[in-house]
Structure 1
């Protein structure tokens, strides 16, 4: 059981360039043992993998964006090609030559697996690897590091079904331990400390057996439509009003008839669930009905003087 945790972020990491053998550079600075977790920033991984590119930052943000989640002035929160929801698609323009930007690794979990294998081959140590990047939080000020790549690590620690000291059964308690490790390491690294790697010792229980990669940090990403906040508040209104089919997925799967009827009533409309897959509503404010139905995964059709709504899945 965990009781203590140590984090060591060494100095002396040289400038990383395309083609750098990260294992060869980092191993002389580290004293690794079985059960350790090696944490490296995405920037050094990207530099080693040749992900420093020339061009305008805005152009690369557009290229790496799957869809815009929210806009606030010049700030763009987007879902990027890795499925991560981040400011500016995770593109970094710091600590690189003017006119260049650093893209996130092409496949962070694969990068972590490759580094884990290299360490095992050269040292024999069974070490987990985490690749980190910085992200904001929707409801809190400031940023913290999160895991965007992982290998050999249980990224979630599930306590579902266990019982606390008072006899209460835990239902959905699942700490994102990979993210917690990333945040702890950032404290030791320091934002301006030029320490892009660190070793965490004390949680060998999270490290998988040699040769097992595990689910990777991708397992921490909610699939499209499962995120309760797939759009920013303003963007959700605009998307629902627009009603374009390609913008429907982030709202999630269709709700139940009772949930839709309740949502329509909260919007000031007269509605009732007529069956498990039918909701009837007055047609006086048809535009409002269309908007609410779109956001909840239902379609609208005229039925005499009223409207009949059905979930899109039926």
Structure 2
């Protein structure tokens, strides 16, 4: 019987990313320094933070003037009114406020704490926003890898999201390129001949979570190289992972 092996490698040697940097070029150079071979069969999990930095999605809190509503929300949540103002600008609606937690729906459709606005690894007095169009960002990185290295690995842009009913955060796919985000097992039979009715595997999220194991929050490793997973498809998008309000029983 053939064995299945998945390998996840942290891509080191990526410097501090600044506005205007070419993320694909940084990855290619880091792989060269680390003696890692890029292949079109690879999947690269890229922490959104370096993409946000390259795209200028960093906000100086000293330049933010909170609205009266931001001050009201800040009092209820115990958060910095300037941070709340940034979160409100990045969201469609507030989903829940309770016990210091502010859960919102972003303009992308993600439902997450603080709308993905994050103060880690950007320096004091600054916050990072999610990429404006994560799928487009992933596609741009993939095109850059093709131009610079002659290979087209799939690209996942990831971020850590909390989960209802479970402790801890898990990385999920915000944007993807070159990978179908879901594997549909519905209508197929399991090993006992049972026809599966509702099995839809979120493989892009699973791969993002695997990549997170080598990325970490305190190590300067913002890219993971995944080998051994058979990816297919060009048309898949991270937005396909967002459940529609009509199908969501919790909205």
What band does the TM-score fall into relative to the shorter chain? 0.7 to 0.9
3-state SS, counterpart of residue 206 of structure 1:
coil
Q: Is the 1:57–1:93 Cα contact (8 Å) retained in structure 2?
A: no
Aligned to 1:54: 60
Once the two structures are TM-superposed, the CA of residue 193 in structure 1 deviates from its matched residue by: 1.3
Residue ranges of structure 2 left out of the alignment (5+ in a row): 32-36, 62-81
* Among 97, 101, 106, the residue aligned to 2:127: 101
Give the 5 Å matches for 1:1-314: 3-30=4-31, 31-55=37-61, 56-203=82-229, 205-208=230-233, 212=234, 214-230=235-251
**How many angstroms apart in 2 are the aligned matches of 1:149 and 1:219?**
10
Q: CA deviation at 1:11?
A: 2.0
Q: How far apart, CA to CA, are the structure 2 residues paired with 1:118 and 1:10? A: 17
Report the secondary structure of 1:199's partner residue: strand
Is contact 2:51–2:137 with CA below 8 Å preserved after alignment? yes
If asked which structure has higher relative contact order (CA below 8 Å, sep 6+), I would say 2
How much is the aligned-residue C-alpha RMSD, in angstroms? 1.4
Distance 1:129 1:97 in 2: 27
Asked if the contact 1:35/1:207 (under 8 Å) is kept, the reply is no
1:225 & 1:171 partners in 2: Cα distance? Answer: 19
CA distance in 1, matches of 2:185, 2:3: 14
Q: 1:217 offset after TM fit, Å?
A: 0.5
CA distance in 1, matches of 2:232, 2:15: 28
TM-score by length of 1: 0.69
**What secondary structure does 2:201 align onto?**
coil
Which string of whole-angstrom CA distances, capped at 9 and with x for unpartnered residues, describes residues 129-182 of structure 1?
A: 000001011110111100000001010011111111111011111110000000
Moved more, 187-196 or 141-150: 187-196
Gaps of 5+ in 1: 231-314
CA contact (8 A) 1:46 1:102 kept: yes
For residues 180-219 of structure 1, give each alpha carbon's deviation from its aligned partner in whole angstroms, at most 9, with x where no partner exists: 000011111222111100110111x2233xxx3x221000
- TM-score, length-scaled by structure 2: 0.86
Q: How many residues align?
A: 225
Structure number, greater radius of gyration:
1
